[in-house]
Structure 1
Amino acid sequence: MNSEGSELDTDFLSRTEGLQGVYPDWRGSNMTQVERHTNCPLAAVDRRLEDAHQQWHQAEATYFDPDAFRRNIQTAIQTLRSVTFVLQNNKRIIPDFDAWYEPWRERLKADGLMSWMVEARNRIEKQGDLEAHSFVRAAIVASYLEEGPEIQVPADLFSAPWTLVKNIPDNLLGEHLRQNGVLEVERKWIENSLPEYELLDAVAIAYGRISQVVDDAHRQMGLEPPATTNMLTGEAFTDGWRNGRLPCMISHRETRTARFRLSDGTPAELERKAVKFDAAEAERVSARYDIDPKNAFGSENNNRAVLQSLFETAKKMFLADRYHDSIVFLLRNGAPIHIMSLRPEDQSQKYLMMRGVADDVVRSGADAVIFISEVWISQADPNKRYLRAALAPDRREALTATLVAKDDGPVQMVAEILRDGNDVALEQTSIVTGHAAFAFAPIYKAWGKEIPQEWLGMFDESSD
């Protein structure tokens, strides 16, 4: 768990076996690219859908170039709309096509976004360009909750976001904002007739819905639908959690957002590294810490069992190294799917870091998260809401492992740290359930899970 790690693009997914293209996610079957294009009866449909995927990425890459973005996003809309035309042109090879397709046609017709896609394609081809406008959303982030002030203005009003900074109050809240806050500036393209969606996201969602139709067409022919496979790990992603969208088309806000510390105006950037253990690393870990890396996650596909096993391993590693990196484990169905090393430099980066983890949860379809870290803990003071544990006079140090799950309350394992010069020891482990795990609020939001109201009234211990 204390690992330098290496850069790992977990979104580098293959949808055509053996094919490595410009963009990261590909649809494919167990055929090679040549075999699929030769043998798959719906190869023309698959290619057209992949064209839309690549054009979407071209629009993403030109987000800050208005003319190029306009061309690319409109091309993606036209291509995506044509997928169903190509599918209908192949109706003769799909058994009972009319009976199969009619429910899909009605479903898409009743979908407001998909109806907009039809209208948008007609406008582009018959009337001219979409009426898209660029906006800037600015917000102050100084909490794990979405409670900071924010504004949205036309993109040409560059000075407007700084009005938020000028209006910070001169009180304890203001002091907290100036010391730990971040000004987040996000650019958004919005089309006049679709104001509730960011335009790139709208097309990504529409891609997912058309992808589901194409997948079902394969099933109607007795074929396995195209799979999404991580080329580095071999993991195959099912469609249940992403509604047809490719992971690289989910949570793309980072590419169009800039952040600045309010304390000094410098860019607020994060270091997040995926951890990948190879055979040599596993052998080193086993020898140094007297553990079997294969058993680090336990023998049960159970979130709480995984938590307990990981914490036992973390304690051994802490006692050997006298420190422990901050490590996040994303799980799905009780099994680990992604591991990240997080290295925040200050409190403001911690707020952003957990929002980044929430984005990874959405992309990967994780249904549980385990976070292992050294923390400061102290008795919370309801009269000093903005006093962080790290600054409290009664602060203590602890090694913790916290589990949050989509279908379960938070569970935290805590072992207080005792230091004597270069020597370290750990107190007996305690287990806390149902505590106010505010640091995981962004992940709750990603799951569409409400923050329990009772958290707001809890003033037992705080940690950071």
Structure 2
Amino acid sequence: MWHALSESYMQPDGFRMHLNSLIQGLRNVTFMIQKSKADLTDYEVWYTQFVTNVAPKPLMRWAVKSRNRIVKESDLELLSEAKIRWVANWITKKERKFTFPPRMSSNEMLAAIFSDPGNPRVGVVSISRRWVDKALPDYELLHATREVFIELCTLLHAGHAAAGINSCTLDEREPSCVTADISVQPLACMDINSSLRQEHLNLEDGFGIREVIHRIDRDDRQVERANRRYGNFSVTASSPIEAAPQLLEAARMVLRKDKYCEPMMWSYREGKIVDMISPTFFDQNGKYLMFHRLADRVETLRADGVVLVIEAWWAPGDVRDAQGFVIPPREREDRQEVLHVAAATRAGERLSLLAPFRRDELGDISFGDTISDASEEDMSQLGPFMPIFERWKQMDERGER
């Protein structure tokens, strides 16, 4: 039902119909449990805990009130919004929300937004289409209903655990992500920041930035080929901070052999890797956009830790121009190539490792001593993580585990 809602996002009438069905379906979960309580092991224990700790949460109260309104009164009062995010650099960012008619095109939205001469003309602007309920203005509705779904999965998981059962008796369903397993973790398929609902524009050249995602499934034959080419290595640490030095060694092996190292980011949740992605960008504005989209991904997955491996430019100390702005390493004559491995957790742990390297006339790579995060100067290399840090803060403020 949630996927049907997502697929109808650009169809106002269909979206409203699927939203009504989904909210009633979510509410029916607790009705069905209550009806069957006499047959459920330790019902009073785990259901009472849910009623005490979870049911009073604002989103759960909203779900109950919304169901009552849909059944007894009328549809929810929906608003079609466009969230506009303008990014100039890692620090300078603005977000505004505009209310537009549901069928208004992105070009018409942009024309209305930039009719104000005070709006920026540099950087990257992103338009995210959003449906919100007037009674819940701070939550996009796919996000809100997903959070309710997760809480109900936690309830069902507690009931199954009390009965000593790991899964439901459920036959094969469509889509294939609907299985008999009951997960207490967010499902990756429930993407609350889909690229299908976002558009991006490079303000400096006026061209759109198209986002493309390629999925690569694990292939054991390719793994064996990689081991033969680069040598065997493994990442044994379960913490992003502890994994960073191991990933740096792996990246060194790749760079020595291939003479380049593709960017890679690993997302962690509760000590396990839940996502691997190789983010590609072609200019600085594309890089700014990419890291904001990586923050979207962290939010969707509820990742609590990340590790990034990337080739970068580095230069010691801050050098400023005549206006007092910091000159980025890529524009300095004393710049040096480095392998940069950065790790961070939602709990506030940070690590930055820089491995300087040089290329000789034949292209062979030699590494210098690794620079760790012993000083504030080195920690400034974590600037690209600012969108992720900000997203974690927002998740904490909403009380999302």
2:262 corresponds to which residue? 325
The question of 1:73 aligning with 2:11 is answered no
Q: How many angstroms does 1:340 deviate by?
A: 1.8
Match of 1:442? 387
> Would the aligned equivalents of 1:330 and 1:336 in 2 still touch at CA under 8 Å?
yes
Give the stretch that moved more between structures: 383-392 or 397-406. 383-392
- Rounded Cα–Cα distance in structure 2 between residues aligned with 1:256 and 1:87: 35
Q: Return closer, same or farther for 1:143/1:281 CA change in 2, 3 Å cut-off.
A: same
Post-superposition offset of 1:361: 2.8
Q: Where do 5+ consecutive residues of structure 1 fail to align?
A: 1-54, 451-464
Residue 127 of structure 1 and its aligned partner are, at CA, apart by 2.1
Q: Look up the SS of the partner of 1:247 in the other structure.
A: coil
User: Which residue type is aligned with residue 380 of structure 1?
Assistant: D
Residue 99 of structure 1: how far off its partner (Å): 6.1
Match of 2:298 among 349, 361, 368: 361
Task: Give the structure 1 partner of residue 94 of structure 2.
Answer: 148
Per-residue Cα deviation, 1:384-431 (whole angstroms, up to 9, x for no partner): 536433233433222222222334543222232323444233331322
Contact 2:82–2:98, Cα closer than 8 Å, also in 1: yes
1:273, 1:340 within 8 Å by CA — same for their partners in 2?
Answer: no
Q: Kindly state the Cα deviation for residue 73 of structure 1 after the two structures are TM-superposed.
A: 0.6
8 Å contact kept, 1:141–1:148: yes
Q: 1:206 aligns with which of 133, 148, 151?
A: 148
Alignment-mate amino acid for residue 20 of structure 2 = Q
Question: Quick one: distance in 2 between partners of 1:220 and 1:305?
Answer: 35
Residue type at the aligned position of 1:194 = L
Q: What do residues 9-62 of structure 1 show as CA deviations (whole Å, max 9, x unaligned)? A: xxxxxxxxxxxxxxxxxxxxxxxxxxxxxxxxxxxxxxxxxxxxxx11111111
Alignment of 1:277-288 (within 5 A): 277-288=218-229
Q: Which segment is superposed worse, 102-111 or 341-350?
A: 102-111
1:131 to 63, 73, 77: 77
Measure, in 2, the Cα distance between the counterparts of 1:403 and 1:128: 49
User: Compared with structure 1, are the counterparts of its residues 385 and 149 closer, same or farther at alpha carbon in structure 2 (3 Å cutoff)?
Assistant: farther
Q: 1:416 to 1:431 in 2, by over 3 A?
A: closer
For each residue in 1:137-169, what CA deviation from the matched residue of structure 2 results, as whole angstroms up to 9, or x when unmatched?
222122334722534233467645446546677
TM-score in terms of structure 2 length: 0.81
* Whole-angstrom CA distance in 2 between matches of 1:205 and 1:419: 50
Contact 1:216/1:225 (CA < 8 Å) preserved in 2?
A: no
SS at structure 1 position matched to 2:47: helix
Residue 368 to residue 198, structure 1, CA distance change in 2 (3 Å): closer
Q: Quick check: 1:193 aligned with 2:139?
A: no
Structure 2: segments with no counterpart, 5+ residues: 170-175, 396-401
Question: Which letter maps to 1:206?
Answer: V
The reply to whether residue 351 of structure 1 matches residue 288 of structure 2 is yes
Conservation of the 8 A alpha-carbon contact between 1:272 and 1:343: no
What is the aligned-residue RMSD (CA, Å)?
Answer: 3.2
Q: Paired residue for 1:256, among 188, 193, 197? A: 197
Secondary structure, in 3 states, of the residue corresponding to 1:88? helix
Whole-Å Cα distance in 2 between the matches of residues 151 and 300 of structure 1? 41
- SS at 1:308 equivalent: helix
The 2-side partners of 1:198 and 1:300 are apart by 36
Question: Where do 1:271-282 residues align within 5 Å?
Answer: 271-273=212-214, 276-282=217-223
Give the superposition deviation at 1:66: 0.5
Residue 7 (structure 2) aligns with: 61
- C-alpha distance 273-417 of structure 1, shift in aligned 2 (>3 A): farther
Q: CA deviation at 1:113?
A: 2.4
- CA 1:210 to 1:368, structure 2 compared with 1: closer, same or farther past 3 Å? closer
Mapped partners of 1:388, 1:237: distance in 2: 48
Q: Deviations over 1:207-252 (max 9, x none)?
A: 222222222222333433669xxx99xxx9963xx4xx43333533
The residue number in structure 1 matching 2:246 is 309
Contact 1:139 1:164 survives alignment (8 Å): no
TM-score scaled by structure 1? 0.71
Question: Is the 8 Å Cα contact of residues 329 and 335 (structure 2) preserved in structure 1?
Answer: yes
The structure 1 residue matched to 2:330, chosen from 390, 399, 418, is 390
Cα gap change, 1:187 to 1:408, in 2 (>3 Å): closer
Relative to structure 1, is the Cα distance of residues 322 and 265 closer, same or farther in structure 2, using a 3 angstrom cutoff?
same
The structure-2 alpha-carbon separation of the partners of 1:127 and 1:365, relative to structure 1 and needing over 3 Å to count, comes to: closer
**Matches of 1:261 and 1:71, distance apart in 2:** 36
User: Which amino acid in structure 2 is aligned with residue 259 of structure 1?
Assistant: H
C-alpha separation between the residues in 1 aligned to 2:285 and 2:209? 8
Which residue, 296, 301, 324 being the options, matches 2:234?
296
Instruction: Give 1:342's match in structure 2, choosing from 276, 279, 297.
Output: 279
Give the paired residue count.
375
Q: Which residue of 2 aligns with 1:21?
A: none
Partner of 1:28: none
Query: Is 2:374 the counterpart of 1:428?
Result: no
Structure 1 distance, partners of 2:211, 2:70, is 40
The answer to whether the 8 A contact 2:267-2:274 is kept is yes
Distance 1:416 1:113, change over 3 A: closer
Q: Residue in 1 aligned with 2:172?
A: none
